[in-house]
């Protein structure tokens, strides 16, 4: 008869959501499967990221509907690169799933998925397999092809003014604040922001400020 020490260790999971009923519901659903060990149930924020980094579970389930859900995926991926992340409550849209994938998610559970589907996707994530619809798979392959054919983005192609705007974006300033800082109209700032995103081949401000740039930004007094 096998001893307890000979039994396989169940995969450890961590659930991150800022809605208590979602957290408890996920735990109850996964407990019924009896294949996983739930290590931590945390709301969103630095405490949840710290818990994932300390506990190092096999899979972290992140509620994408929570505030900053995609950013939490990115931060968990940075802190615990060996952990697989499953994005829960994802809209069945190309844009949101691509955003989750780029942030580091290895699995996606849509809003209308069942508990059985959630458990199946967690199992696949443990095996380092990604699960998505054929439509989303096509979008991911197109995205990979696009990135493969794109030169690394730097600030070299930006004008002096665009570099100043990007520097203030990195400081977290809104368009109106940037305009006041540079003594230009808010509409002009919007045009500069549009040009910065276009030249850096990104769609969002957060992506622009995360780009590993070459050289220093011009100082703005």
Please indicate, yes or no, whether residues 91 and 185 belong to a single structural domain of this protein. no
pLDDT in tens, 149-183: 555 566 777 888 988 999 999 888 999 999 999 99
Q: Tell me which residue of 128, 127, 111, 122 sits closest to 31, measured CA to CA.
A: 122
Indicate the residue among 146, 169, 191 that finishes a domain: 146
pLDDT of residue 133: 65
Q: CB of 39 within 8 A of CB of 11?
A: no
Please indicate, yes or no, whether residues 83 and 109 belong to a single structural domain of this protein. yes
Measured between alpha carbons, how far is 119 from 122 in angstroms, rounded to an integer? 5
Where residue 181 sits, what CATH number does that domain have? Answer: 1.10.10.10
pLDDT level of residue 45 (50, 70, 90 thresholds): confident
Please indicate, yes or no, whether residues 164 and 135 belong to a single structural domain of this protein. no
Domain that holds residue 123: 7-146
Q: CB of 37 within 8 A of CB of 11?
A: yes
pLDDT in tens, 99-149: 888 888 988 888 888 888 888 888 888 888 876 667 677 777 777 776 665
Please indicate, yes or no, whether residues 96 and 196 belong to a single structural domain of this protein. no
Q: What are phi and psi of 85, to 5 degrees?
A: -115, 130
Write down the mean pLDDT value for the chain: 80
pLDDT of residue 172: 85
pLDDT of residue 149: 59
Q: CB of 84 within 8 A of CB of 61?
A: no
Sorted by sequence, the CB contacts under 8 Å of residue 182 that are 6+ apart come out as 161, 164, 165, 168, 189, 220
Instruction: Tell me what the mean pLDDT of segment 199-211 comes to.
Output: 83
pLDDT level of residue 212 (50, 70, 90 thresholds): very low
Please indicate, yes or no, whether residues 117 and 186 belong to a single structural domain of this protein. no
Q: Tell me which residue of 11, 96, 95, 102 sits closest to 61, measured CA to CA.
A: 11
pLDDT higher than threshold 80 for residue 41: no
Query: Dihedral angle at the C-alpha atoms of 151, 157, 162, 166, nearest 10 degrees?
Result: 40
Q: Tell me which residue of 121, 111, 40, 128 sits closest to 86, measured CA to CA.
A: 121
Please indicate, yes or no, whether residues 135 and 204 belong to a single structural domain of this protein. no
Please indicate, yes or no, whether residues 24 and 75 belong to a single structural domain of this protein. yes
Where residue 87 sits, what CATH number does that domain have? Answer: 3.40.50.2300
């Amino acid at each position: 008869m096998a001893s307890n020490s000979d039994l396989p260790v169940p995969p450890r999971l961590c659930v991150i959501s800022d809605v208590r009923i979602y957290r408890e519901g996920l735990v109850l659903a996964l407990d019924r499967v009896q294949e996983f060990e739930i290590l931590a149930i945390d709301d969103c924020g630095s405490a949840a990221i710290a818990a994932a980094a300390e506990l190092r579970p096999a899979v972290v389930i992140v509620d994408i509907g929570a505030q900053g859900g995609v950013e939490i995926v990115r931060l968990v991926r940075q802190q615990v690169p060996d952990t697989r992340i499953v994005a829960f409550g994802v809209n069945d849209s190309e844009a949101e799933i691509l955003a989750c994938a780029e942030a580091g998610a290895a699995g996606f559970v849509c809003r209308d998925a069942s508990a059985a589907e959630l458990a199946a996707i967690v199992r696949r994530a443990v095996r380092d397999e990604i699960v998505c619809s054929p439509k989303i798979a096509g979008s991911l392959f197109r995205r990979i092809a696009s990135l493969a054919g794109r030169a690394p983005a730097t600030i070299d192609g930006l004008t002096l003014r665009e570099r100043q705007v990007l520097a203030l974006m990195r400081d977290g300033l809104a368009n109106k604040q940037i305009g006041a800082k540079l003594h230009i109209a808010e509409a002009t700032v919007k045009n500069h922001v549009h040009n910065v995103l276009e030249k850096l081949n990104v769609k969002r401000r957060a992506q622009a400020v995360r780009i590993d740039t070459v050289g220093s930004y011009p100082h703005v007094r």
